[in-house]
């Protein structure tokens, strides 16, 4: 590592071959990103409003803690803005230092409703001479530190400057994540909202499972509880929380399993009818095919819960028989039959 100097004679970090990356802000995200960057061989300069206040040991060795201005000047090409968007305007004094550099916006939206401009677009308006790239907002500080695992590997990236985007894409790969290029900066509106959607790919499967459950539960309530009550005055309402649910679950599981296999058949028929497989499926079929894994796992979940329920219900019945047996023995032994039976029937129901 060697040092170059600023106009006022201070030395700034730089390492041959590995560009110096700047990070503005010294919070959770900044710290985790710095750890990851250093581990991947980059030099890092963190720019804080008050670098002296940062406790020793918070950032790993190899990270320089400087003022915001110095960090911006030291960073060769890429600077992360790891601060909340409300504070972007406090950086306008650094405009000249940031000119021509790649400014990465990592912020998230706080609400789902459609505002006009995304945080990244507002940052680009504040710094027209910088190249704003959106990225890393879908990666938690925790995932940055512990390393990427399957679900959190993807980093959604977009920018209006393709060169700068390519730089961030490359950087993302070196950090061990999978970059996904979503096009121009306007895509940042969706990217910023991505973390607000909980398990996005599960929405459809969960809704289908819920609706199927509702339908079959209703059917079973009518068939096994309401009709016997209306026809013969039978009181089967105690079945609602356990038996009826347990009758519903296998039906839901089987239909869901059918929904896993059905789109494959539909697709095959469609290909035969079209006489070619080199044509896109209609989008509804495409989406359905992409959700087969979730549907299958939901089916498995219902079947699993059904198995557990069935086992518990059988155990409950077995306990009932044991009790009946005990009552019988006591009657033989001279107990009052009426007392025993009333106790047993109370527990049985």
Name the site residues for ligand NDP (rule: CB under 6 A): 25-30, 48-50, 82-84, 87, 90, 106-108, 137, 140-141
Using the rule CB under 5 A, give the single segment among 53-61, 132-140, 154-162, 246-254 that binds Fe ion: 246-254
Residue 167 interacts, among ligand NDP, Fe ion, none and using kind-specific CB cut-offs from 5 to 8 Å, with none
State how far the Cα of 231 lies from the Cα of 236, in Å rounded to an integer: 12
State how far the Cα of 106 lies from the Cα of 123, in Å rounded to an integer: 11
| Closest among 156, 158, 148, 144 to 180, alpha carbons compared | 156
Using the rule CB under 5 A, give the single segment among 82-90, 100-108, 147-155, 248-256 that binds Fe ion: 248-256
Going from the C-alpha of 344 to that of each of 176, 237, 336, 337, 349, the distances in angstroms are 64, 19, 13, 11, 9
Note the residue count of the chain. 349
Q: Which two tokens stand for residue 210?
A: 């819920």
Residue 316 interacts, among Fe ion, ligand NDP, none and using kind-specific CB cut-offs from 5 to 8 Å, with none
Q: Which residue is nearest to ligand NDP (CB)?
A: 27
State how far the Cα of 222 lies from the Cα of 35, in Å rounded to an integer: 60
State how far the Cα of 43 lies from the Cα of 62, in Å rounded to an integer: 7
On the 0-12 / 13-18 / 19+ scale of CB atoms within 10 A, 125 is exposed
Residue 83 interacts, among ligand NDP, Fe ion, none and using kind-specific CB cut-offs from 5 to 8 Å, with ligand NDP
Write down the least CB distance from residue 96 to ligand NDP, Å. Answer: 18
Q: Which residue among 19, 62, 250, 296 contacts Fe ion (CB under 5 A)?
A: 250
* Residue 228 within binding range of Fe ion, rule CB under 5 A: no
* Residue 51 within binding range of Fe ion, rule CB under 5 A: no
Residue 314 interacts, among Fe ion, ligand NDP, none and using kind-specific CB cut-offs from 5 to 8 Å, with none
Write down the least CB distance from residue 89 to ligand NDP, Å. Answer: 9
Q: Which residue, 233 or 241, has its beta carbon nearer to Fe ion?
A: 241
Q: Which residue, 92 or 347, has its beta carbon nearer to ligand NDP?
A: 92
Angle of CA points 231, 233, 237, to nearest 5°: 110
Partners of 12 in beta bridges:
4
Q: Which residue, 13 or 25, has its beta carbon nearer to ligand NDP?
A: 25
Are 213 and 252 in contact, with CB atoms under 8 Å apart? yes
Q: Which residue, 145 or 239, has its beta carbon nearer to ligand NDP?
A: 145
Residue 246 interacts, among ligand NDP, Fe ion, none and using kind-specific CB cut-offs from 5 to 8 Å, with none
Question: Count of CB atoms within 10 A of residue 196's CB?
Answer: 12
Residue 250 interacts, among Fe ion, ligand NDP, none and using kind-specific CB cut-offs from 5 to 8 Å, with Fe ion
């Amino acid at each position: 590592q060697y040092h170059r100097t600023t106009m006022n004679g201070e030395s700034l970090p730089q390492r041959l071959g590995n560009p110096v990356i700047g990070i503005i802000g010294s919070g959770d995200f900044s710290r985790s990103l710095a750890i990851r960057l250093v581990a991947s061989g980059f030099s890092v300069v963190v720019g804080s409003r008050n670098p002296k206040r940062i406790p020793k040991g918070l950032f790993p060795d190899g990270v320089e803690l400087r003022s915001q201005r110095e960090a911006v000047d030291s960073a060769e090409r890429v600077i992360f803005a790891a601060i909340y968007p409300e504070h972007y305007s406090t950086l306008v004094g650094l405009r000249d230092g940031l000119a021509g550099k790649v400014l990465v916006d990592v912020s998230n939206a706080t609400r789902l409703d459609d505002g006009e401009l995304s945080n990244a677009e507002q940052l680009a308006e504040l710094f027209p001479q910088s190249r704003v790239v959106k990225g890393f907002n879908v990666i938690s500080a925790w995932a940055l530190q512990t390393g990427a695992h399957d679900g959190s590997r993807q980093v959604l990236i977009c920018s209006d400057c393709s060169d700068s985007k390519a730089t961030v894409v490359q950087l993302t790969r070196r950090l061990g994540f999978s970059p996904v290029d979503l096009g121009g900066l306007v895509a940042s509106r969706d990217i910023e909202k991505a973390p607000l959607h909980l398990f996005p790919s599960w929405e459809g499967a969960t809704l289908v499972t819920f609706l199927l459950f509702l339908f079959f539960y209703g059917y079973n309530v009518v068939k096994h509880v309401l009709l016997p009550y209306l026809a013969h005055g039978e009181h089967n309402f105690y079945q609602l929380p356990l038996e009826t649910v347990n009758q519903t679950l296998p039906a839901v599981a089987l239909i869901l399993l059918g929904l896993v296999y059905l789109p494959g058949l539909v697709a095959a028929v469609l290909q035969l009818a079209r006489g070619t497989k080199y044509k896109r499926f209609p989008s509804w079929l495409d989406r359905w095919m992409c959700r087969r894994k979730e549907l299958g796992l939901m089916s498995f979940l219902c079947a699993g819960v059904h198995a557990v329920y069935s086992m518990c219900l059988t155990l409950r019945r077995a306990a009932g028989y044991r009790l009946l047996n005990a009552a019988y023995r006591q009657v033989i032994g001279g107990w009052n039959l009426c007392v025993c039976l009333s106790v047993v029937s109370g527990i049985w129901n």
